[in-house]
Amino acid sequence: MDPRAMSRVSADIGPQDRGADVETLQLFLHRFGYLPAPEPRMAIPLGRASEFPAQGEFDDQTRQALTRYQAFRGLAETGLLDAETRTTMAKPRCGFPDLFIGVPEAYAFNGGKWSKTDLRFHVLNASKDLTLEQVRTAVRSALDLWQAVSMLRFSETASASGADLTIRFGTGDHGCGHPFTEGADGKDNVLAHAFPPPPAGGTYAGQTHIDDADTWSVSATPKFGAKDLVTVVAHEVGHALGLSHSNVKTALMFPDYAGPHRHLDQDDVDAITALYGPKASA
């Protein structure tokens, strides 16, 4: 679902509410790891109502999931879809889930890490807005953020077959099972997503997919409406290296995009060095 759909949902919905707005909220919470997939009430097995949210009903599971989302974002934990929460949900963001198992926390890992620190990368295509050379330069800048603080070393390879990390642009259903669900204007608020290292990432391990329906820039001060490619690639590569989202708002690995962020927070440094070790002293 398009996260922008949350901007059209009525504010202040809560317990006892039901209908399409509640279902939209549930789909958002499910997509980003806060709630199991909602089921029609008649399809929920007898005696297992506490395990499944009822589709379109603001039940206790939905309230708890919404409270977890509010906690992750540092919002008032009302358990209601208030105006501030709704506005936050509609912001541009990464498509990687915020949670898997457990509670919100500072830096976390997504179930994998590379067994080596020398990694090869390949850029598969240009975007509609940028040349291949501009994209390659932006990717190199993004990787340099992680390389500067850790034992990781990145080198570019001439083909995808020899790469550990790949970066490509796509739109809509681009073949990985996680389509960019464009709205009527051809866009949604999910900018990109990435897959963790093997084995957790499966067939797509190490891949970063960027929505080419958005407008991309390599400027540190993008024009209005354009997104900074360096910032987004650096964030997504964090996932491809094994990092999950952080609930530290100043971290690069915070889920929401709020403009250019071409630096690592201490939380990001702690995360990447916990996996791969700190950069060796000269």
Is residue 236 flagged as an active site residue? Answer: yes
Residue entry with tokens 């958002």: 28
Amino acid residing at 104 = P
Per DSSP, the residues of the chain read --GGGGGGSPTTB-TT-BSHHHHHHHHHHHHTTSSPPPB-GGGSPTT-TTTSPBTTB--HHHHHHHHHHHHHHT----SSB-HHHHHHHTS-EESS-S-SSS---SS-B-S---S-SEEEEEE----SSS-HHHHHHHHHHHHHHHHTTBS-EEEE-SSGGG-SEEEEEE-SS-SSS------TTS--SEEEEE-PSTTTTGGGTTEEEEETTS-EE-SSSPPTT-EEHHHHHHHHHHHHHTB---S-TTSTTSSB--S---S--HHHHHHHHHHH-BPPP-
C-alpha–C-alpha distance, residues 178 and 180, integer Å? 7
Question: What does residue 278 show for φ and ψ, rounded to 5 degrees?
Answer: -75, 160
Catalytic-role residue among 23, 57, 84, 236? 236
> What angle is formed at CA 82 by the lines to CA 81 and CA 84, rounded to 5 degrees?
120
Catalytic residues: 236
